[in-house]
Amino acid sequence: MDAPTALLHLLQLLAPAWAMAALLGARLAWRAPAGARWRRWGRETLWLAVPGSAVLVAGLVVSGADGRMATYAALVLVLGSLAAWRARRSA
């Protein structure tokens, strides 16, 4: 496999975690003052995307295949729990 193909596979593996992190980050940043929303959105997205990526990679290692429903369920549980914790912490 050449480098561009490998990079594309990696991006497709991590896309669900980053998309979910971006949506949850937007929801968490909504309560911030208008001038700080973009900065807070980026920080929240990063705080959620890194553990989400780790969950997806762990699911690939444990199950041996990408895209298992158990991996996506774990992704939802981990990111939902982290988002709830971050929301309570910032309130």
Per residue in 60-87, pLDDT (tens digit) is: 999 998 889 999 999 999 999 999 999 8
pLDDT value of position 37:
86
Report how far residue 33's alpha carbon sits from residue 31's, in angstroms, rounded to the nearest whole number.
Answer: 7
Reported as a single tens digit per residue, the pLDDT across 16-27 is 999 999 999 999
**Residue ranges per structural domain of the chain:** 3-90
Radius of gyration of the chain (CA): 15
pLDDT of residue 91: 64
Q: Give the per-residue pLDDT at 2.
A: 95
Please write the tens of the pLDDT for every residue from 41-63.
999 999 999 999 999 999 999 99
CB atoms under 10 Å from CB of 51, counted, come to 16
What would the two tokens of residue 61 be? 């290692």
